[in-house]
Structure 1
């Protein structure tokens, strides 16, 4: 499909630079299938739009401070870690990469160093970090939270982002972008959902920086997604399958959870245990197998994520949803408001 079919005009003032306080005070636009009217609601209203036996699926990845500033000799460079290779190596996108060659030593803050070992076809490098300390410790000392470019370009990262850009489910280190749909959740909201008979499960998908890369081709068939590592335990898969067999719906909280669930699902909809990389790219025409609904923020024009929600609800329906959101001043992107999509 033509990428320009997924374009729309977005006023820059609707890009949220800070999250709602408290988190569950954000707005939520509810869109159901067909021509049912759109509903302006709030995240705290979520229990009223779900049913007893439904299951919300969250991503428990934890964002690491993966943005590094440093030097290669006299040249200033930046590195955004993208994907773990092993205990000491990460794949990274390099700013000012033309000044870097294979074998160069990069010096970051706090005495942290890395060797640029291998340059990949996409322009990224494999970085091998020096010393004996775990890389996670080095990053806590030298790194910054990797805010999306549409936020970082408007204001500097600060200490508040270390809390704001992390979900309440964050447990497993490895993401360089937050599963932002879950940023809206609080212990109070989770308790209200439990009281309403709505269950929750977690999986892990370590979101990579590739999620922010623009689609540079004219046709979706020519776009290639970056791979991200994820896992679904056998116990989690069994509980999700049992819930669905009992009539409950599987509602993915965020596109990251959705992509992993769909990667793990068989054609009959059975969710299997999963561990490994996924580079699934979902566009209109895709037949969803594992999920029955999606809670997600509002995405970039011509992005792979807007293509995904268009696959779920229909492109014309999502253009209608986004036009309503813009006309009613919903806040967009990572720190923005939410939508609940129930096809």
Structure 2
């Protein structure tokens, strides 16, 4: 099928996925998940395991990983006045003790309403109602907010995961450090400390960026034409050390390979905004779809994404629409596991 780049439709990125292929639990061990490799020039596909990724990496390459850490951002509490049950989802830290939150049911969270969580360990007051019906809430507690969150918060797993997560650390990458995401940068979930050590020992650099993943990651594209879709904005930071590693890799002829679409979007946002890679922080709503010209990226390690999502549009921009749709059809036929806890793809 020939894509009309000037008139891209959301439905162009649909594929049929049996529900039984949606992974409900992570692979054990992490790097035992399957790996589909895709040559973006030829469309050639190979079937491997994730621990084989090292065979596709060359000395002098640079892997760029997102070190954001997921908040246990789902809170269950009661409304002070009525004792009615309420659920809060922390979305963005605004300033001080103020957070942007999603509340359910929303009608219970009027301006001035007060709530209690964890039998009084944490309290909140609604300050304002903002765009999309989200709220601004001020939290108060005795002690460290994040430590209390670790005690009483739950991981905000995607809606398509029905199984309970037994170990919160399995929804964190082994290198996660900077707290702030509402969802995991899932491509990194496949790495183990041992695999990362082997990669380093082979002469491949590891560089880190931070992009705090927002819940907009799971928001469906409802526009018929993808150019009418408005991306959510996410906060990123790219350090001087990472900029140096990326620039040195490029200069020496190595490949810059993003681990996950979040790392990809961070580098491409900086490359687009700054015209080069240098230390930079800010907010990005970059939307990458076929026709986009990559400024930095040479390869991508990623999971299999939802039909008609902005993420399948991004990988189609990198590998070519036909190659990606064929790879996804192949993955379905070969019964790969899909989405956050699913198997991986390496586009090179």
* Fold shared by both chains (TM-score > 0.5): yes
The aligned residue for residue 123 of structure 1 is 133
Match in the other structure for 2:18: 11
Q: Is the 8 A contact 2:181 2:213 kept in 1?
A: yes
1:267-297 residue CA offsets vs partner (Å, 9 max, x unmatched):
8963121111111111111111011110000
Q: In structure 2, what is the equivalent of residue 142 of structure 1?
A: 152
Give the drift of 1:76: 2.4
Equivalent residue runs for 1:182-261 within 5 Å: 182-261=188-267
Residue of structure 2 aligned with 1:30, choices 37, 41, 48: 37
Between the aligned partners of 1:126 and 1:157, the Cα distance in structure 2 is 28
| 1:155 corresponding residue in structure 2 | 163
Output one character per residue of 1:50-76: Cα deviation in whole Å (capped at 9) or x when no partner: 221000011111111101112233432
What SS does the corresponding residue of 2:290 show, helix, strand or coil?
A: coil
Residue number among 293, 302, 305 corresponding to 1:296 in the alignment? 302
Instruction: State how far apart, in whole Å, the 2-side matches of 1:279 and 1:133 are.
Output: 35
The unaligned stretches of length 5 or more in structure 1 are none
RMSD: 1.6
Partner of 2:76: 69
SS, match of residue 200 in structure 2: helix
| 1:122 aligned counterpart, secondary structure | helix
TM-score of the aligned structures, taking structure 2 as reference length: 0.93
- Match of 1:150, SS? coil
Gaps of 5+ in 2: 1-7
How far 1:171 sits from its partner (Å)? 0.9
Instruction: Spell out, residue by residue over 1:67-103, the C-alpha distance to the aligned partner (whole angstroms, 9 max, x if none).
Output: 1112233432211111111131111122211332122
Contact 2:62/2:245, CA 8 A, preserved across alignment = no
The answer as to whether partners of 2:25 and 2:165 remain within 8 angstroms in 1 is: no
Q: Is the 8 A contact 1:295 1:341 kept in 2?
A: yes
Contact 1:83 1:228 in 2 (8 A): no
My pick for the range that moved more, 53-62 or 140-149, is: 140-149
Structure 1 residue 141 displacement after superposition: 2.5
